[in-house]
């Protein structure tokens, strides 16, 4: 029998996808250059040159049968070793290659981790605003997503987290740099959260896992540094994706690293392998596993994103918009002039601007602009943004 919940998910596209499709039609009607499409987080800089070089090397070095053949279910051992060594060398976190599981991007990293660790009756606490697919992933795993409000600057509100975590909490999902706000959590916030979770574990007597969703880890500006939650909290699963850092979202490659610092790491890893198996996510795409092994840590053209970030933030603030202060990812959160983000997104369409209302992200009143676009799109959009702002009588 058709499962109604799945049919519902299939029929009701996400707001982001709806807008993207609207944009596609509108571009065909009036020309792509006349639509200011800030809807989708699709990297706008090409994959670094090292990716092409790695592919060429692999095609000439490896015999085609093994290059395109199955790897072990959890991924190629050599690639997992490189990833573990780099995590330790770059971020000072302990990592064991035998606790790394290669995945089809961050979405798979998250669904595998959730299915490994949460079930019926459990709660998963998520600081808001957050990536809307979390709700789909959490609910498919049988659990309930509990939104935890953030602080005024879209950082962690530890008091709210303290109130949200209880004996039903199986996991929390953290995402820094954040989609949709671009905010990067500070080391002090991560340390304080780690202490809070350890205290909660003692009080409730149950482990709380920290699922750290890190697809934007390297996309950081203004000389800011990022610390990894795994450095402070033993029960961490580092969920990574090469989609954004290597501009490879269509190739579907990432990983989960289970921290060896948690006492039950072997069992958690077994559950990760089991969830990967049950969900059909065994043996991530082989060619791109090897590319990841060669290019792990290679950075994209951050200067291009940084310039877009400055242009858009400064431009919108000069017009009068209130915005968040993004240090990472490629998103800017902008306040709807009258506080109604859905109406703001609809009105923006009249000015050929596509922006996503924050309501689905747990950030009502705000809208997300993905600035992974051509610089000219931002420059050319400014008169439209001004007209949009003035249409509010401001
Ligand atoms: N998590 C966050 C916060 C994202 O923004 C995205 C994609 O935009 C994903 C996960 C999914 O990433 P992937 O394409 O690697 O599955």
Q: Which of 114, 179, 237 to mutate to test the pocket of ligand 1 (most atoms within 8 A of CB)?
A: 179
Long-range contacts made by residues 194-198, C-beta under 8 angstroms, separation at least 24? 194/229, 194/232, 194/233, 196/158, 196/161, 196/162, 196/165, 197/165, 197/172, 197/233, 197/235, 198/233
Dihedral sign (CA 231, 232, 238, 242): negative
| Cα–ligand 1 centroid distance for 37 (angstroms) | 19
pLDDT digits (tens, 9 = 90+) for 224-256: 778 999 999 999 999 999 999 999 999 999 999
CATH number of 69-295: 3.40.640.10
Can you give the pLDDT at residue 300?
86
Is residue 309 within 8 Å of residue 326, measured between CB atoms? Answer: yes
| Cα–ligand 1 centroid distance for 241 (angstroms) | 8
Distance CA 332, CA 180 (A): 7
Q: Which residue owns the Cα nearest ligand 1 atom 2?
A: 131
Can you give the pLDDT at residue 360?
86
pLDDT digits (tens, 9 = 90+) for 339-363: 999 999 999 999 999 999 999 899 9
Other C-beta atoms closer than 10 Å to the C-beta of 244 total 26
Ranges of residues in the chain whose predicted pLDDT is under 70: 394
| Cα–ligand 1 centroid distance for 107 (angstroms) | 6
Can you give the pLDDT at residue 394?
62
- Give the DSSP H or E segment for 303: helix 302-319
Instruction: Write out residues with Cβ below 6 Å of ligand 1.
Output: 41, 105-107, 131, 175, 179, 213, 215, 241, 243, 249, 254
Task: Reduce the DSSP state of residue 313 to 3 states and report it.
Answer: helix
Long-range contacts made by residues 225-229, C-beta under 8 angstroms, separation at least 24? 226/176, 226/177, 226/184, 226/185, 226/328, 227/91, 227/187, 227/190, 228/87, 228/91, 228/93, 229/174, 229/190, 229/193, 229/194
| Cα–ligand 1 centroid distance for 297 (angstroms) | 18
CATH architecture of 4-48+301-390: Alpha-Beta Complex (3.90)
Distance CA 47, CA 32 (A): 23
Instruction: Return the ∠ at Cα 125 (arms to 192 and 43), rounded to 5°.
Output: 90
Pairing between β-strand 36-37 and β-strand 353-354 as defined by DSSP bridges: parallel
| Cα–ligand 1 centroid distance for 50 (angstroms) | 22
Query: Using omega within 30 degrees of 0 as the cis cutoff, is the peptide bond preceding 170 cis?
Result: no
Tokens of 181: 């706000």
| Cα–ligand 1 centroid distance for 132 (angstroms) | 10
Q: Which residue owns the Cα nearest ligand 1 atom 8?
A: 41
Closest ligand 1 atom to Cα of 241: 15
Distance CA 355, CA 159 (A): 31
Residue 308 CB contacts under 8 Å (≥ 6 apart), including other chains: 330, 371, 372, 373, 375, 378
Domain boundaries, given as residue ranges, for the chain: 4-48+301-390, 69-295
Task: Reduce the DSSP state of residue 96 to 3 states and report it.
Answer: coil
Query: Using omega within 30 degrees of 0 as the cis cutoff, is the peptide bond preceding 129 cis?
Result: yes
Distance CA 247, CA 45 (A): 7
Distance CA 231, CA 116 (A): 22
Is residue 238 within 8 Å of residue 261, measured between CB atoms? Answer: no
Distance CA 76, CA 132 (A): 31
């Amino acid at each position: 029998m058709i499962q109604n919940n799945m049919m519902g998910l299939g029929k009701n596209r996400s707001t982001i996808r709806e807008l993207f499709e609207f944009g596609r039609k509108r571009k065909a009607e009036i020309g792509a250059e006349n639509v200011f499409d800030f809807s989708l987080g699709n990297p706008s800089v090409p994959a670094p040159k090292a990716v092409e070089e790695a592919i060429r090397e692999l095609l000439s070095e490896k015999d085609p049968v093994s290059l395109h053949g199955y790897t072990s279910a959890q991924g190629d051992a050599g690639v997992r070793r490189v990833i573990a060594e780099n995590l330790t060398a770059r971020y000072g976190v302990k990592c064991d290659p035998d606790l790394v599981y290669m995945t089809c991007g961050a979405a798979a990293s998250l669904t595998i981790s959730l299915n490994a660790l949460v079930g019926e009756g459990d709660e998963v606490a998520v600081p808001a605003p957050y990536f809307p697919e979390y709700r789909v992933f959490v609910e498919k795993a049988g659990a309930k997503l509990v939104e935890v409000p953030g602080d005024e600057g879209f950082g962690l509100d530890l008091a709210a987290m303290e109130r949200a975590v209880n004996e039903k909490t199986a996991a929390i999902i953290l995402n820094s740099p954040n989609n949709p706000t671009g905010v990067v959590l500070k080391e002090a916030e991560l340390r304080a959260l780690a202490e809070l979770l350890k205290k909660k574990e003692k009080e409730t007597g149950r482990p709380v896992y920290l699922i750290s969703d890190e697809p934007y880890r390297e996309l950081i500006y203004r000389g800011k540094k990022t610390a990894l939650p795994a450095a402070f909290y033993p029960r961490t699963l580092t969920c990574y994706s090469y989609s954004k850092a290597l501009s490879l979202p269509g190739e579907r490659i990432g990983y989960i690293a289970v921290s060896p610092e948690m006492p039950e790491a072997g069992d958690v890893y077994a559950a990760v392998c089991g969830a990967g198996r049950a969900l059909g996510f065994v043996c991530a795409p082989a060619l791109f596993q090897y590319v990841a092994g060669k290019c792990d840590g290679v950075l994209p053209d951050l200067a291009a994103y940084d310039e877009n970030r400055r242009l858009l933030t400064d431009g919108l603030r000069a017009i009068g918009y209130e915005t968040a202060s993004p240090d990472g990812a490629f998103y800017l959160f902008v306040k709807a002039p009258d506080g109604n983000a859905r109406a703001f997104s609809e009105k923006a369409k009249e000015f050929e601007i596509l922006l996503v209302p924050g309501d689905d992200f747990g950030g009502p009143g705000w809208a997300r602009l993905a600035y992974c676009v051509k610089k000219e799109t931002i420059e050319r959009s400014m008169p439209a943004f001004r007209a949009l702002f003035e249409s509010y009588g401001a």
